[in-house]
């Protein structure tokens, strides 16, 4: 571009160093999960021995099942609550308690996990002694994960709604569509990228959470991060390397799939909007198009 700015070699250098720092530990971990030796410093040849050992590990397997159950339930609950919350904040500019609501939606994104974990546990203990519910375990972990998951979903939904052209909704209503039809045929498909990525984000956050789950769980439920943590505390274990590699592979596939689906949905939306001959899109440019104007910068 121009010569006044920090030169291209400097920028490439920053990127290479930065991404090496972010990715080197992960790459090394994946690499050593295929090491035949137990020692990290000795490369004893390629082996999938630790994957075999991992499959035989009953504790890990049971914990993985618990984690997947919790994550699926928590992500679904997060999606419902977070979508409602995102709509409320994006579409209603004033209602009683909106400020407090907005605070409660964003604060869990930054509040340290130890605070969320301890406070929820104390609530569950108090509630169990008052009304006998909930007993600590899968239910309490799911509630806890759904709470912070909903906050992340609401952020994504809200951002997507901000870029959503409401004229399309109004046009449908003017043409006689019922509100429910507008919601299911226009609004929800329009924000589907946020819904997909929101569910996936809530799912992985739940799958990954150690601190909150450790606080709110009871003796009956151990999640995968809890099992990994107690094993890691005893030192590096090749089985954990194998587990981590499987986890990374799963996440990578899911995220790439989601990114691809969203890019495709976005492309389709763009083309369909361009093909619309109606004054809907010409009265004001669709916000999505405005946002994406940056390649021309």
Question: Rounded to the nearest whole angstrom, what is the least distance from the CB of residue 4 to other proteins in the complex?
Answer: 4
82 binds other proteins (CB under 8 A): yes
Question: Rounded to the nearest whole angstrom, what is the least distance from the CB of residue 58 to other proteins in the complex?
Answer: 21
| Identity of the residue, 108 or 137, whose beta carbon is nearer to other proteins in the bound complex | 108
Question: Rounded to the nearest whole angstrom, what is the least distance from the CB of residue 207 to other proteins in the complex?
Answer: 8
130 binds other proteins (CB under 8 A): no
> Which residues have C-beta within 8 Å of that of residue 101, sequence separation ≥ 6?
85, 88, 89
Instruction: Provide DSSP, 31-93.
Output: HHTTBSSSSSS----B--HHHHHHHH-HHHHHHHHHHHHHHHHHHHHHHHHHHHHHHHHHH-S
| Identity of the residue, 97 or 277, whose beta carbon is nearer to other proteins in the bound complex | 97
Query: CA-CA distance, 168 to 118, in Å (whole number)?
Result: 46
Q: Is 54 exposed, middle or buried (0-12, 13-18, 19+ CB in 10 A)?
A: buried
Task: Please report, as residue ranges, which positions from 19 to 48 form the binding site for other proteins (by CB under 8 A).
Answer: 19, 21-23, 25-26, 28-29, 32, 39-41
Task: Please report, as residue ranges, which positions from 159 to 178 form the binding site for other proteins (by CB under 8 A).
Answer: 159, 162, 166, 169-170, 173, 178
257 binds other proteins (CB under 8 A): no
> Which residues have C-beta within 8 Å of that of residue 89, sequence separation ≥ 6?
98, 101, 102, 105, 154, 158
Task: Please report, as residue ranges, which positions from 221 to 240 form the binding site for other proteins (by CB under 8 A).
Answer: 225, 228-229, 232-233, 235-236, 240
Task: Please report, as residue ranges, which positions from 262 to 281 form the binding site for other proteins (by CB under 8 A).
Answer: none
112 binds other proteins (CB under 8 A): yes
Query: CA-CA distance, 140 to 121, in Å (whole number)?
Result: 8
| Identity of the residue, 197 or 275, whose beta carbon is nearer to other proteins in the bound complex | 197
Query: CA-CA distance, 154 to 87, in Å (whole number)?
Result: 8
| Identity of the residue, 69 or 113, whose beta carbon is nearer to other proteins in the bound complex | 113
| Identity of the residue, 218 or 275, whose beta carbon is nearer to other proteins in the bound complex | 218
């Amino acid at each position: 571009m121009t010569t006044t700015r920090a030169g291209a070699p400097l920028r490439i250098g920053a990127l290479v160093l930065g991404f090496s720092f972010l990715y080197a530990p992960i790459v090394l971990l994946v690499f050593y999960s295929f090491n035949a030796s137990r020692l990290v410093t000795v490369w004893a040849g390629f082996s999938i021995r630790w994957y075999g050992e991992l499959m035989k590990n009953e504790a890990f397997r049971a914990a993985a099942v618990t984690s997947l159950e919790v994550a699926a339930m928590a992500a679904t609950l997060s999606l419902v609550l977070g979508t409602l919350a995102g709509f409320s904040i994006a579409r209603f500019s004033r209602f009683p308690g909106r400020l407090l609501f907005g605070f409660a939606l964003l604060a869990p994104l930054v509040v340290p996990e130890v605070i969320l974990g301890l406070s929820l546990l104390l609530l569950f203990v108090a509630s169990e002694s008052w009304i006998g519910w909930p007993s600590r375990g899968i239910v309490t972990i799911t509630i806890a994960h759904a709470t912070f998951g909903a906050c992340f979903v609401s952020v994504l939904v809200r951002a997507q709604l901000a870029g959503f052209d409401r004229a399309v909704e109004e046009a449908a209503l003017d043409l006689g569509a019922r509100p429910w039809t507008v919601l299911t045929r226009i609004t929800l498909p329009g924000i589907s990228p946020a819904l997909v990525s929101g569910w996936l984000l809530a799912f992985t956050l739940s799958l990954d959470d150690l601190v909150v789950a450790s606080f709110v769980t009871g003796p009956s439920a151990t999640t995968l991060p809890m099992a990994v943590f107690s094993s890691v505390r005893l030192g590096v274990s090749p089985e954990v390397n194998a587990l981590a590699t499987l986890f990374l592979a799963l996440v990578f596939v899911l995220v790439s799939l989601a990114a691809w689906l969203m890019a495709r949905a976005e492309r389709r939306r763009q083309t369909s909007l361009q093909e619309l001959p109606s004054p809907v899109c010409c009265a004001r440019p669709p916000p999505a198009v405005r946002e994406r104007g940056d390649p021309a910068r």
